[in-house]
Amino acid sequence: MDTLETILGHTFRDPALLQLALTHASVGYENQRPLPDNQRLEFLGDAVLQLTLSDLLYRQLPQADEGVLTKARAQLVSTKALARIARRIGLGNHLRMGRGEEANGGRDRDSSLADTLEAIAGAIHLDSGSLAAQRFAEHLFINDLAALLHGSFESNPKGQLQELIQSVSISPLVYQIVSECGPDHAKNFIATVSWRGTMLGTGNGRSKKEAEVQAAQAALDNPVLQMQLRTAGEESGQQP
């Protein structure tokens, strides 16, 4: 645990909080009795990371508008991004999980790694407050923040939306061009994107591709998407 604390850049006053943050729900399932796990800390940590990274981005991107800041934060806290950081620090080796979950690849599953990293953020907030949580975020996200500030993070709404959907479901996204108007040299297309029968976003553009990209971005900004993802995640046993 001392090694992990060094990697995290935080020494816990209450080591039990770190133990709890590392405890997967499968431990209780396998023992067939209720045991504390990291799901509540994950809930808190999600909000902690959203706030701390919002604060960092606000201060480091003084010229960026709300839309740019929102997209940047979404890239930093996506399941893929959090799992990548977790792998970089070897977090999977420290997870406490049931043998069945481990045998099924749980230590390297994106959702398990991302959820645990969020739980650790929540544990640090409870252990030492918001400033400690901010230092933790600065410490772990320094490379990703630098890449974002130097423009290495590409904006790819269709790819981001696809990743979110694939993390919880095999149901495909459906893009549809529902309208086109204007002369051939100045066409305007309107596209929609739907998932599991729910229309999530609408976009328009000078080409079909541009319209679909705008529809994907509208879906990412749509609060209905998060509700759909959470429902699908609960059905499949994973969380977005």
* Residues annotated as catalytic (active site), given as ranges: 46, 118
Nearest Cα residue to 75 out of 15, 137, 147, 22: 147
User: What is the Cα–Cα distance from 225 to 162, expressed in whole angstroms?
Assistant: 12
* R_g of the chain computed on alpha carbons: 20
The DSSP code sequence of the chain is -HHHHHHHT---SSHHHHHHHTB-THHHHHHTS----SHHHHHHHHHHHHHHHHHHHHHH-TT--HHHHHHHHHHHTSHHHHHHHHHHTTGGGG-B--HHHHHTTGGG-HHHHHHHHHHHHHHHHHHH-HHHHHHHHHHHSHHHHHHHHTT-S---HHHHHHHHHHTT--PPEEEEEEEEES-GGG-EEEEEEEETTEEEEEEEESSHHHHHHHHHHHHHT-HHHHHHHHHHHHHHT---
* Amino acid type, 196: R
Provide the CA 210 distance to its chain's centre, in angstroms.
Answer: 25
